[in-house]
Amino acid sequence: MLKQFKETEPRLRLEIPCTLNFSREEHPAKIVNISYSGLGIELLVEGPVLDSRDVQSVTVEGIGTLHARVLWKRGAKLGLKFASKRNARPALDAFFKKIGDYPF
């Protein structure tokens, strides 16, 4: 069961394409916010009901593939938490430096 999640870290609001990777398929999505602990994602296509528990990772151009799990789902919107903040941090630092903006 997915639980309610309250934002606890500053988030950077943006819109960039990404791919949500399930164990057997991939789906296009867009990131709507990002922090050092996770992502807000919006699915771009409607289709068969997706089992959000099956999400393995998210792939973002300029960042790479980050392993994550779904904390909450509301319609086409998902809140993802990185499997390891420590592993995600170097890629996120490089991305934030490249775009010249940081979550605050």
Q: 84-100: per-residue pLDDT in tens?
A: 999 999 999 999 999 99
Global pTM value: 0.84
The answer to whether residue 48 scores a pLDDT higher than 70 is no
DSSP assignments along the chain, one per residue: --------S--EEEEEEEEEEESS-EEEEEEEEE-SSEEEEEES---SPP-GGGEEEEEETTTEEEEEEEEEEETTEEEEEES-HHHHHHHHHHHHHHHT----
Q: 9-19: per-residue pLDDT in tens?
A: 899 999 999 99
- Mean of pLDDT values over 65-82: 93
- Mean of pLDDT values over 58-80: 93
What does the pLDDT read at residue 49? 61
Return the domain boundaries, the chain: 12-98
What is the architecture, at CATH level 2, of domain 12-98? Beta Barrel (2.40)
